Amino acid sequence: MSKFAVILPAAGQSTRCRVKRMKKPFAELNRRPVWVRSTELFINRDDVAQTIIVISPEDREWFKEKFRPNLAFMDIEIVDGGAERADSIQNALARVKSDIDFVAVHDAARPLMVEEWVDDVFRTAIKTGAAMPAVPVTSTVKRVNDKNEIVETVPRENLWLAQTPQVFRRELLLEAYAKRNGLIATDDAQLVEAIGHTVTVVEGSPMNIKITTGEDFKIASSLIEALPKKDPLRSLHPFQDDPGDQWR
Ligand SMILES: Nc1ccn([C@@H]2O[C@H](COP(=O)(O)OP(=O)(O)OP(=O)(O)O)[C@@H](O)[C@H]2O)c(=O)n1
Ligand SMILES: C[C@](O)(CO)[C@H](O)COP(=O)(O)O
């Protein structure tokens, strides 16, 4: 069985969204912290051998104290975040063990992923070396200037919205970050593309939203009940190399 490390970036400043003055990964979504929802998806998987959460240095001691009960039951490493998301990932990547085959990077601010969707991305990454979920753009796309005037209608054919977890062979992601040269990439796939490696998209679900604003909390709260329920028999047979399932 391939061994995966999971990196959960949770070190952002959450400038677009504070809930009771708390940064979004630490706020509660339907009575459970966002970061816990995002982490528990991975921490109990048989194929996940290492879990790292990235926390801003300013939050580190507070985080360890506030979530001591949760952390007590999780074999999870806390790494300091950086100024940009890519800096945070780079810090965590340096701690990934050498016997890890694949690295999955999943925004702690995306608490609505479900197990079978993760299986699909993991399975595709095993086959291709690099995979990520995305959803096709379904609305018309406009480019707008700073006066809110439309300057262009962007052709939306073959445009997809990237999501996470983004999953890469460990050596590939290490090479991509080693050649980053300070590029402020907004996702990890961009760095892998930049070194010429194909990244395969797995069609995802629009329900796998990233909590960015307060409105997203309301959307996420209502979506939780709509998520596919976990198949109780699924965990008895972790995925093998069966044909890639389509997202339900
Ligand atoms: N320097 C950073 C920036 C972002 N993130 C994490 O990357 C994910 C996606 O980033 P985003 O949604 O942009 O979060 P913030 O940067 O906190 O949001 P904002 O831009 O509103 O400050 C989040 O889980 C965030 O905590 C991180 O670990 N380190
Ligand atoms: C990684 C990501 O979630 C893919 O859509 C997105 O790029 C994160 O961007 P952010 O500005 O750091 O939220």
Give the bridge partners for 79, in sequence order.
Answer: 54
31: left (phi over 0), alpha (psi -120 to 50) or beta: left
* Å from CA of 236 to ligand 2 middle: 33
Is any ligand 1 atom within 6 A of the Cβ of residue 108?
Answer: yes
Looking up tokens 């810090």 gives 91
Q: Is 220 helix (H, G, I), strand (E, B) or coil?
A: helix
Which one-letter DSSP state was computed for residue 180? -
Which one-letter DSSP state was computed for residue 136? E
List, in sequence order, the alpha helices (H) in 13-107.
34-43, 60-66, 68-72, 85-93
Report the alpha-carbon distance of residue 124 to residue 199 in Å, rounded. 10
Q: How many CB atoms lie within 10 A of CB 127?
A: 11
* Å from CA of 232 to ligand 2 middle: 31
- pLDDT tens readout for residues 7-65: 999 999 999 998 888 999 999 999 999 999 999 999 989 999 999 999 999 999 999 99
Burial class from Cβ neighbours inside 10 Å (0-12, 13-18, 19+) for residue 202 reads: buried
Q: Is pLDDT larger for residue 18 or for residue 80?
A: 80
Is any ligand 1 atom within 6 A of the Cβ of residue 165?
Answer: no
Domains (range + CATH), the chain: 4-227 (3.90.550.10)
* Ligand lying closest to the C-alpha of residue 14: 1
Closest ligand 2 atom to Cα of 105: 1
**What pLDDT is stored for residue 99 in this prediction?**
98
DSSP states along 152-211: EEEP-TT-EEE-S-EEEEHHHHHHHHHT-TT---SSHHHHHHHTT---EEEE--TTS---
Q: Contact 42/141 with Cβ under 8 angstroms? A: no
The reply to whether the predicted model has a pTM over 0.90 is: yes
Is it the case that residue 240 has pLDDT exceeding 60?
Answer: no
| ipTM exceeds 0.95 | yes
Q: Give the lowest-confidence range in 179-183, 219-223, 231-235.
A: 231-235
Residue at 86: amino acid letter: A
Stretch 177-190: mean pLDDT: 94
**What pLDDT is stored for residue 231 in this prediction?**
64
List, in sequence order, the alpha helices (H) in 82-143.
85-93, 115-128
Q: Is 113 helix (H, G, I), strand (E, B) or coil?
A: coil
Is any ligand 1 atom within 6 A of the Cβ of residue 14?
Answer: yes
Across the chain, mean pLDDT equals 93
Report the alpha-carbon distance of residue 204 to residue 152 in Å, rounded. 27
